[in-house]
Chains A and B, each alone.
Chain A
Amino acid sequence: MKKRLLVAALVAALAATAAAFGGNSPDRTRSAAVPAGADQALLTCGRTRSIGFAAPITGAAASLGQQMQRWGQFFVTRYNRAHRTKLRLVVGDTQLPDTAQAIQVAERFASNSQILAVVGPAGSQEVQVSTAPLRGGGLGNISGTATRTSLTTDGTRKGYFFRTVPNDDQQGPRVASWIRTRLHATRIVVVDAQNSYSTGLSDTVEKILKNAGLNVRRESVSEANTTDFSSLVARIPGDTQVVYTPWQLAPKAQLFGQQLRAAGKNARMFGSDGLFDPDNFKIPGSLISFFPIDLKSKVIAKYKKGPGKGKSDLFGLPTYVATQIVGRAIDKSCRNRSATRAEVRRNINTTVIPKAQSLLGFAVKFAQRLKLPIGPGDMQRPADFGIYQIQANGKYVRVG
């Protein structure tokens, strides 16, 4: 009896683990059950216009999803204050990394005739699996976080998918070049976080540095599921000069950095845009690649005072820009009080946000053609990354 119970418990426990941490099958797609002709169906715009908002509000990545939601809602609140017509976010919880939820959310949005376009989803793997249902419903979507290069360069989402973050093949070379030519590092450890965002960036940086003849060691750890990095830290050679951590959970990177220092290792940490979080990641001397934003921007200050409750949550900032673009596209499409989803998509594609109005630090305009590493739906140059350094007092200062 005891044996049976134990086996049953084991099965239950493993099933629970799989439910909580698994389901991460990036290429799983299926066709959506959406009304025929949803793409061209004429929708009455009304006074309140709805935007689908797909983000991980609960689950392991909830801290990121809630930042994104706060920034998206912040734009909507500001817009609604300034306009007679109103915007409304219809939130879908994708529970990253459970991609099955992302599919369900996309299907719900596609069948909801009120929704004109979608902001999100967050993860590259979620964008992949949401493509079929969103496309089936004629919905365009903009992600403020999905960076996998192939999402725009493989040609399958042209005119449907857009993003307000530069892709991995823009960020990776910038970081690798900085490590090689500015830090003159020769012994580097790359630690990926076992998700598509992180492995993509890690692969790019590792490849470039290895091609340059540098000593690169690759490590891997699940940032979401690991509470103690001390054994990983023990594996990092004492003479390592740079540890590249393209992660998304700043508190986990902070712990990793603290354990690195506590173990007496002085390697400099180099984080990606996912770690640009002055409230949570503040290991002095560390470098981070991020957009050339104006940290003294009034909008960021207002966010910090308002929904941020003292935090700037800068990881979610591109989601603000994504919502801003959708808002503008809807306004344009609804001029005659009715619009189709196809019209909104076309208007997203042609929306331009001048530098003065863009929180990202550069004008936002989408590329129309493939010119590697940029594909249609990516932001055109000068969209790129700056390099920031964390000072002894925890402040972020742009150094390149």
Chain B
Amino acid sequence: MDLPLAFDGTLFVQLLVNGLTLGSLYALIALGYSMVYGILKLLNFAHGDVYMVGAFIGYGTLSALGGPLSPNIGLLPLIVLMFLAAMLGAGLLGVVIERFAYRPLREAPRIAPLISALGVAFFLENSVLLLFGADFRSYNSFVLGSPHPERFELGPLFKPAFKVADVNVQRIQVAVLLITLALMVTLTFVVARTRIGKAMRATAYDREGAAMMGIDVDRVIASTFFMGSVLAGAAGVMAGLLFSQVFHLMGFLAGLKGFTAAVVGGIGSIPGAMLGGLLVGLTEAFATGYVGGRWSDLIVFGILIFVLLVRPSGLLGAKAIQKV
């Protein structure tokens, strides 16, 4: 273990930026876990792989539009199209998963859909392995839009947006934070202020009661899966743009971290998922930066255990009330 001897402001700010960026991705993934758990009490372990499929859809769109080194359209519309395709594709995938893997098991013992979720996860991973092979696919985002990608001249996404304490905050990092914020605000608005949001809250509170009040519960659940998966699709494209590489197993660990974030924040709670995601991202960045790469996962999952022991319902989770 190599601990720094003195406080280094530049390192701190750099790790803070890295942690917030990474945490944004985890928060978007965590939201999907939380929403589905909130409404169905189901741990959708296939959610990380929906994120992976989103990243691949973004890659497919990028390739279809000329590839990263010579795109046929401008950078901004290209990225917008990648996001739209991935969000829509992932959203539809979420609906299909719910319809065929979870709905038939809705009245089955709780372990059945959990096993089904693991099955869907492996199904998605191996389908992508068969379709695209085991090779890493690259967004080439570091040189995307660069006038000289062949000379490895950084593209506009990785140019500094501004400087804080000698740290260059890259445009892509700012964009990820802003897009995440926008998606979270939209989701909060949808859940709090719209008809479907009200139906979702009612279904989460009492599914049978909601059905008796005339709410189409199947539609509400499908919508929940759609929204959660849309966020995972967006996170997939963000990961591709930030880290350039996508491959068929990328969803496993990201999904696990997203799940950790959801549990730390309080599974079932939307603000909790956001908070949990940011906390997990920051913990990972600071653990890597201050303690070393080999310790980061140990610390992140150690915190999960600690939070569960001290506050089983998570930081912002409501205490479960047992009906009698």
Contact = CB atoms under 8 A, between A and B. Distances in A.
A235 interface: yes
B135 A282 contact: no
A373 to B, nearest CB: 27
Contacts of B2: 217-219
Interface string B35-54: 00000010101000000000
A264 B168 contact: yes
Interface string B68-107: 0000000000000000000000000000000000000000
A255 B129 CA distance: 21
Contacts of B15: 231, 234
B320 A262 contact: no
B197 interface: no
Interface residues of A, number: 55
A58 interface: yes
Contact of A63 (B43, B247, B322): B247
Contacts of B41: 5
Contact of B254 (A59, A227, A284): A227
Contacts of A219: 2, 292-293
A284 B19 CA distance: 28
**Which size class do B's interface residues fall under?**
35 or more
B267 A6 contact: yes
B129 A58 contact: yes
A265 B15 CA distance: 16
A251 interface: yes
Interface of A: 1-3, 5-7, 9-10, 12-14, 16-17, 20, 58-60, 62-63, 65-66, 194, 217-222, 225-228, 230-232, 234-235, 249, 251-252, 254-255, 258, 261-264, 280, 282-284, 311, 392-394
Interface of B: 2, 11, 14-15, 18-19, 21-22, 41, 43, 45, 110, 114, 118, 126, 129, 133-136, 138, 142, 150-152, 154, 158, 168, 170, 239, 242-245, 247-250, 252-254, 256, 259-260, 263, 267, 284-286, 288-289, 292-294, 296-297, 301, 304-305, 308, 312-313, 320, 322
25 contacts: A2-B312, A6-B312, A7-B308, A7-B312, A13-B260, A16-B118, A16-B256, A17-B301, A58-B129, A63-B134, A66-B133, A218-B2, A220-B292, A227-B253, A231-B284, A234-B14, A234-B15, A234-B289, A235-B288, A252-B136, A255-B243, A258-B244, A262-B154, A280-B138, A393-B150
Given A5-B41, A221-B293, A263-B168, 8 more contacts: A2-B312, A226-B293, A228-B243, A234-B14, A235-B288, A251-B136, A252-B136, A280-B136
